[in-house]
């Protein structure tokens, strides 16, 4: 089993749900990214998503887009991201998944990218702009290296297509809560509960919900039906304050925020 399979098996045995924060690599620098990853895990996160910055994110809202721009302005390199991840991942004790554009995988070559990601300690990949119907090559490479290839299903995905995507997915299914881009929202549609409930009846894979989750009330609404919850923009927005406030203060704020959401999940 992959590291992600093992994680969800343990969570199920313990009767717990996964809390999965997202952080952009290199915003404001890789040293702080490593510190944020450590703090997220210390606060109780089950898995972390590490965003590899790229110039045209198709699904990300202004907060994550801005973080990518800041990282790219510093001319961050993929090799540097892998070096940072390789230094921090062994001490985390939880899986890390890279989220990136297929353009980066393609330029590197799927075999090389997956090999380097695995060597750095990554447990899987999320490639939002790679259609599931075109993922066979990358899926084959990931399967050979025992890395999970996580695919996305959205509220507008027809149910027959959702089933086909699930068949091509390993690790967990990333269910996008809203039609649109990432970003914090005041409220989330109640339809998510029905959609995810249906999906979990169709597949043995864990189903984790992302996009828009930022408040304890969101967590209380979605945790009962999901296997995990993904929080991105709200974390990235707090990380961005490292340019204005002492870094340890920012880390403490992130830790308190994660603890608040975990309290809602477990309550």
Determine the straight-line distance between the first and last CA of the chain, rounded to whole angstroms: 30
Helix/strand/coil for 217: helix
Measured distance CA(206)–CA(92) in Å, rounded: 22
Measured distance CA(255)–CA(253) in Å, rounded: 5
Residue-level length of the chain: 267
Measured distance CA(65)–CA(85) in Å, rounded: 21
User: Measured on CA atoms in the order 260, 22, 64, 26, is the torsion positive or negative?
Assistant: positive
Prior bond of 204 cis (ω within 30°): no
- Residues recognised as catalytic: 49, 60
């Amino acid at each position: 089993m992959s590291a992600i399979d093992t994680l969800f098996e343990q969570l199920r045995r313990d009767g717990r749900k996964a809390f999965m924060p997202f952080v952009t690599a290199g915003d404001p620098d890789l040293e702080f990214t490593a510190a944020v990853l450590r703090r997220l895990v210390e606060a109780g996160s089950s898995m972390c998503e590490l965003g590899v910055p790229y110039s045209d994110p198709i699904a990300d809202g202004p907060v994550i887009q801005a973080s990518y721009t800041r990282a790219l302005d510093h001319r961050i390199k993929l090799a540097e991201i892998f070096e940072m991840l390789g230094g921090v991942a062994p001490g985390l004790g939880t899986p890390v998944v890279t989220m990136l554009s297929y353009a980066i995988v393609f330029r590197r070559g799927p075999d090389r990218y997956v090999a380097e990601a695995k060597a750095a300690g990554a447990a899987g990949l999320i490639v939002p702009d790679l259609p599931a119907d075109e993922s066979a090559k990358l899926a084959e490479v990931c399967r050979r290296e025992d890395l999970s290839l996580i695919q996305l299903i959205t509220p507008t995905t027809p149910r027959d297509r959702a089933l086909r995507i699930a068949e091509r997915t390993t690790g967990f299914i990333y269910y996008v809560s809203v039609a649109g881009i990432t970003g914090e929202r005041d409220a989330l549609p109640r339809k998510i509960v029905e959609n995810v409930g249906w999906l979990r009846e169709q597949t043995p894979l864990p189903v984790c919900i992302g996009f828009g989750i930022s408040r304890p009330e969101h967590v209380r609404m979605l945790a009962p039906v999901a296997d995990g919850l993904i929080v991105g923009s709200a974390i990235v927005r707090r990380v961005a304050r490292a340019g204005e406030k002492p870094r340890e203060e920012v880390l403490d704020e992130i830790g308190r925020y994660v603890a608040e959401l975990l309290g809602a999940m477990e309550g």
